[in-house]
């Protein structure tokens, strides 16, 4: 979190409270985090940026992910936001330290730490599983963050095919279950908490849960980051408490069937959806 925001008064500050929250992701999947933010913080205005022209980030290099993430933040900063939520697990794993160092005046909350905290809190046997994109898993950031918090055993597995399955709406039945077995059989029986470290995976909860078995707690990082955002805004006195906030969605490309896709992840229709050109 940035130092300027931290030094502000902790009493409720109306003008601060009225500023929007900025959320970004590599695409539309990050709307799973917005869905949770809208549930937990219904009065907040939210500006969402989905970099649909360049999705996926999870198969790209660290250098490229950092560059894209900077451009995403630069876009959101134009809206005088009070907090940035990085809904993308890949950016949260690979580029968050870089963003925090570059934008020191801006509080930046990623999905990784809240998810890790919850996993460490609930992993009774001390064995935690992490699934995510290739870039997320290869960054090893979950492992480092979990080990900082105690003597845990961590098993990681990239599950790249879950992303197109979720986008297709193919989330239950034979095909996703087969794919889930291919990825998850090696974790089954070996972990008691599993971090769903990708925006798309909450849509596959039913299938993942069936394959992992009933004793395994699935951690929805979108839920955890929303809780953390409320905690942070409350502590700073920046919470907006009355009314219904609006949601404006900006996309770098408007894909076919975008309304259906948005609804799949968000569960509602946003006030507006606009195409935006980032300065690449």
Task: Spell out, one character per residue from 220 to 259, where the chain touches ligand DGL: x when CB under 6 A holds, - when not.
Answer: ----------------------------------------
In the residue annotation, 120 being an active-site residue is answered as no
SS3 (DSSP) at 82:
coil
Residue 57 binding ligand DGL, by CB under 6 A: yes
The nearest distance, CB 261 to ligand DGL, in angstroms, is: 13
Residue-level length of the chain: 280
The nearest distance, CB 184 to ligand DGL, in angstroms, is: 17
In the residue annotation, 88 being an active-site residue is answered as yes
What is the total count of residues that contact ligand DGL (CB under 6 A)?
19
Binding residues among 18-37 for ligand DGL as defined by CB under 6 A: 25-27, 29-30
Order of strands, sheet of 247-251, starting from the edge strand that comes earlier in the sequence: 108-110, 83-86, 21-25, 46-50, 247-251, 272-275
Residues 6+ apart with CB under 8 A from 111: 33, 85, 86, 87, 88, 89, 92, 197, 221, 222, 224, 225
Cα Rg of the chain, angstroms: 18
Residues 6+ apart with CB under 8 A from 121: none
The nearest distance, CB 195 to ligand DGL, in angstroms, is: 12
Binding residues among 180-199 for ligand DGL as defined by CB under 6 A: 198-199
Give the tokens for residue 56: 């996926």
Q: Which active-site residues does the annotation give?
A: 88, 198
Residues that bind ligand DGL (CB under 6 A): 25-27, 29-30, 55-58, 88-90, 132-133, 136, 163, 198-200
| Binding site as annotated, residues for substrate | 25-26, 57-58, 89-90, 199-200
């Amino acid at each position: 979190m940035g130092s300027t925001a931290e030094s502000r008064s902790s009493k409720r500050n109306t003008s601060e409270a009225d500023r929007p929250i900025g959320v970004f992701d590599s695409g539309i999947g990050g709307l799973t985090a917005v869905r949770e933010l809208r549930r937990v913080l219904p009065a907040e205005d939210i500006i969402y940026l989905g970099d649909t022209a360049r999705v996926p980030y999870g198969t790209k290099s660290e250098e490229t992910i950092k560059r894209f993430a900077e451009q995403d933040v630069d876009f959101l900063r134009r809206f005088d936001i009070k907090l940035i939520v990085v809904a993308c697990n890949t950016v949260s794993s690979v580029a968050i330290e870089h963003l925090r160092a570059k934008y020191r005046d801006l509080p930046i909350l990623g999905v990784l730490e809240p998810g890790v905290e919850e996993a460490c809190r609930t992993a009774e046997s001390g064995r935690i599983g992490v699934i995510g994109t290739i870039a997320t898993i290869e960054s090893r950031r979950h492992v480092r963050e979990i080990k900082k918090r105690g003597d845990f055993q961590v098993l990681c597995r990239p599950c790249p095919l879950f992303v197109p399955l979720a986008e297709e709406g193919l989330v239950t039945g034979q095909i996703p279950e087969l794919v889930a077995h291919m990825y998850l059989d090696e974790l089954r029986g070996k972990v008691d908490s599993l971090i769903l470290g990708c925006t798309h995976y909450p849509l596959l909860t039913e299938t993942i849960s069936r394959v992992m078995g009933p004793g395994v707690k699935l951690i929805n990082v979108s839920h955890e980051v929303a809780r953390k955002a409320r905690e942070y805004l409350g502590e700073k006195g920046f919470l907006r408490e009355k009314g219904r906030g609006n949601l404006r969605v900006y996309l770098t490309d408007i894909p076919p069937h975008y309304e259906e896709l948005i609804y799949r992840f968000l569960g509602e229709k946003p006030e507006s959806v606009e195409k935006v050109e980032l300065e690449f």
